Copies of this chain bind each other. A is one copy, B any other.
Amino acid sequence: MITIKDIANAAGVSHATVSRVINNGPKVGDETRKRVKQVMQELGYRPNANARALVTQKHSALGVVVAELLDPFFATLAHGIDSVARQQNIQLLMSAGSIEKDTELQAIDTLMQHRCEAMVVHSKALDDDTLIEFAGQIPGFVLINRYIPQIAHRCVWLDNTAGGKVMTQHLLDLGHRKFAVISSRYQIDDPSERLQGIRNTLHAAGLTLDDSHIEYSSPDQKGGEHAMRHLLARGVDFTAVLAYNDAMASGAMTTLSDHGLQVPTDASIVGFDDVLLAKYCHPKLTTLHYPIEMMAVKAAELALAYARGEPTSTTHTYKYTPTLVKRDSAAQVHPR
């Protein structure tokens, strides 16, 4: 590999001068600058990013910690981050990892070993204190999909409660009064927040959600099928179903269809996330659009800005609200 010294020799200057040229340093003769650039070109010089990071004490890359690239939700997230990285010409240090404490910890640790100063982290397994501590050590530490009051200005998150409210209200507006909920057993905050939104809204309408009308399962297709099977088997009476996400909603529709029940004629169903699947399943899902890409972009920009020490508002917090996308799975309640 050819180094800065090689260039210096070939151009007949000191390596200090070459360094100045590379970094567009202020005090270099036009003549010299030109010659050095010429030589760099000819010899195909590539600055050693590691040496640079060492002396600078910082890696310029943007670190990313997500749970699972296969999940279209995270793919979208990654895509948003990638787009700002590309735009700002910054390298991505990606650590995918399951939702496990050790894995997440490990991922962040590796990033720190690289002295990465900007990172967007999606963590559901680590506790608040740990995260707060990281935020203290890493200038550009930003959390996505999580809200921790103490580091609010580093959080880009979704108002799940509002989401629960919107989807419920829509169904109420369509005349539904008998609800069932398919929730997720695995994650912690999101499901319960959405559930809270649902409960509040129902309550405001003079209704209550009996626990027997809630079914918990894994937050995927299979979980949705499973949950709906249980609902049906237990003879729960409902005309509308609120699902934790699109995958579960889709699974639930499959089971419904297997039992000869039509959506939305026999039952309306609303999903959450608005991933690709929502458009392709049959009937097309009415769901809540999760502006994850927009959020990812904001998170990446924020992380980079903080890492650069730019004076970003430290009082502000970045809350997003999901919006209703009406498609075909929810309709006016049908008299039996």
**Interface residues of A, Cβ cutoff 8 Å to B:** 1, 46-51, 53-54, 57, 59, 61, 64, 68-70, 72, 75-76, 78-79, 82, 86, 91-97, 103, 109-110, 112-115, 250, 276-277, 280-282
Nearest CB in chain B: distance from A303 CB, A: 16
Task: Report how many copies the assembly holds.
Answer: 2
Nearest CB in chain B: distance from A284 CB, A: 10
Instruction: Tell me whether B75 and A115 are in contact (CB under 8 A).
Output: no
| Extra contacts besides A70-B76, A280-B280 (8): CB < 8 Å | A1-B57, A70-B75, A75-B75, A91-B93, A94-B94, A250-B280, A280-B281, A281-B282
Instruction: Tell me whether A109 and B75 are in contact (CB under 8 A).
Output: no
By a CB distance below 8 angstroms, the chain B residues around A68 are 79
Q: Which residue of B lies closest to A277 (CB)?
A: B280
> How many angstroms between the C-alpha atoms of A71 and B224 in the bound complex?
24
Instruction: Tell me whether B1 and A115 are in contact (CB under 8 A).
Output: yes
A276 touches which one: B57, B94, B277 (CB < 8 A)? B277
Q: Which residue of B lies closest to A77 (CB)?
A: B69
By a CB distance below 8 angstroms, the chain B residues around A61 are 93
Nearest CB in chain B: distance from A233 CB, A: 25
By a CB distance below 8 angstroms, the chain B residues around A86 are 96-97, 103
> How many angstroms between the C-alpha atoms of A276 and B276 in the bound complex?
10
Instruction: Tell me whether A114 and B49 are in contact (CB under 8 A).
Output: yes
Closest 7 CB pairs of A and B: A50-B53, A94-B94, A282-B282, A75-B75, A49-B113, A70-B79, A49-B114
Instruction: Tell me whether B69 and A82 are in contact (CB under 8 A).
Output: yes
Q: Which residue of B lies closest to A114 (CB)?
A: B49
Q: Which residue of B lies closest to A279 (CB)?
A: B221
By a CB distance below 8 angstroms, the chain B residues around A75 are 69-70, 72, 75
**Known contacts A277-B280, A280-B280; A91/B110 CB under 8 A:** yes
Instruction: Tell me whether A96 and B69 are in contact (CB under 8 A).
Output: no
By a CB distance below 8 angstroms, the chain B residues around A110 are 49, 91
